[in-house]
Amino acid sequence: MKIFLDTADVPTILKHFETGLIDGVTTNPSLIRKSGRDPEDVYRELAMAGIPDISMEVVEDMIGEGRRLSKEFPYVCTVKVPCTPEGLKACKVLSDDGVKVNVTLIFNAAQAILASKAGATYVSPFIGRLDDNSVAGLEVVRSISEVYRVQGVKTQILAASIRDVYKVSRSFWNGAHIVTMPPKIFEGMYNHILTDKGLEIFDADYQATISRSKAFPIPEINNRKPGKDLDAI
């Protein structure tokens, strides 16, 4: 069960990577454009910071670009291609070369079948965009997962286009191996009103205990270390 961040915002990625809970990053041309940065500068900074898996989307000359990126960023590069005839051809060639490939813009199980036959490491169904178009995105994850399970396919499902926290757990529940999400959704995963309320009570009780201990110090015997001190009693 892996968590990827779906962004090209390096400072935000690095901040969350420090939690030890982030397993990778996915980017695409829109996210790179939003960052206002050169894509390879972004990949380089992420690679140097130790991000273990970075999806780098190729648009033109997909095979040539994919080979170049995988040499430039060995160990961390996953080449991202669209689910088109050219994209899947590139997927096959690159996968045969031993390069990890993420086939993106997946909207049904048929596309996921083609991607797995082309040797994809990951397929990325876009849950939010399916929902936008009145198709239940989670159902698509479920059907890909069932096909892969029945057929013993090794390609992993990387659920993408995640718009709310609920979809994260439901994606995993429906068979996704990885969920990639905007940083805001990751931050939202920590939150629950009952956690906040519970913490408030624990904090108040902790403070009250501390002040009472200061007013009535614990007898010295309780401060003795086990072992030597206790043996002497």
Give me the active site residues, please: 80
Residues that bind ligand G3P (CB under 6 A): 6, 26, 28, 126, 128-129, 160-161, 180
Query: Which of residues 26 and 155 has its CB atom nearest to ligand G3P in the complex?
Result: 26
| Two tokens, residue 222 | 């309780």
Are 183 and 5 within 8 A, CB to CB?
yes
Residue with Cβ nearer ligand G3P (28 or 116) = 28
CB of 48 to ligand G3P, least distance (A): 23
Nearer to ligand G3P, 94 or 185 (CB): 185
Nearest to ligand G3P of 171, 180 (CB atom): 180
Query: Token pair 């010295």 is at which residue?
Result: 220
Between β-strands 54-57 and 77-82, what pairing exists: parallel, antiparallel or unpaired? parallel
Helix runs in the chain, H state only: 10-17, 29-35, 39-48, 62-72, 85-96, 109-117, 127-132, 137-151, 165-173, 183-188, 193-215, 228-231
Query: Cα–Cα distance between 70 and 95 in angstroms, integer?
Result: 11
- Report the distance separating Cα 54 and Cα 22, nearest Å: 11
Distance between terminal CA atoms of the chain?
53
Task: Decide whether 67 or 144 has the Cβ nearer to ligand G3P.
Answer: 144
Minimum Å distance from CB 91 to ligand G3P? 17
Tokens representing residue 183 in the block = 């940083």
List of residues 6+ apart from 129 with CB closer than 8 A: 107, 137, 161
| Shortest Å, Cβ 203 to ligand G3P | 37
Who contacts 4 (Cβ-Cβ below 8 Å, separation ≥6)?
22, 23, 24, 25, 26, 53, 55, 158, 178, 179, 180, 181
CB of 83 to ligand G3P, least distance (A): 13
Smallest separation, CB 156 to ligand G3P (Å)? 15
As a whole number of angstroms, the distance between CA 140 and CA 142 comes to: 5
